[in-house]
Amino acid sequence: MKSFLSWTVLAVLVLVHISQAVYVQDGDLRFPLESVKKLKELMDGNRHINPRMMVPMASYSPCQEKLLPEEFRPVC
């Protein structure tokens, strides 16, 4: 019985560790991986516009996007 309880506690600890969210860190800033993926989609989506109609990337700001994840709003 004691062995079963030990294995159960160990299994719960492993599951808790595995289920923790993944974060991307850049210096002091830390963002959830899902938000970083959404930001990448926004920035990649901007590349599919006709190059003659597009403003140079140096002046493009994802902060103007309505779909920008909330985690990035304080950075803007």
pLDDT band at 75 (very low <50, low <70, confident <90, very high): confident
pLDDT tens-digit map of 17-50: 666 678 888 888 889 888 999 988 888 876 656 6
- What is the rounded CA–CA span in Å between residue 32 and residue 29? 10
Token pair in block for residue 9: 């506690």
Neighbours of 69 (CB within 10 A): 17
- What is the rounded CA–CA span in Å between residue 54 and residue 36? 23
Query: Which backbone phi and psi does 51 adopt, to 5 degrees?
Result: -60, -30
Determine the pLDDT at residue 44: 80
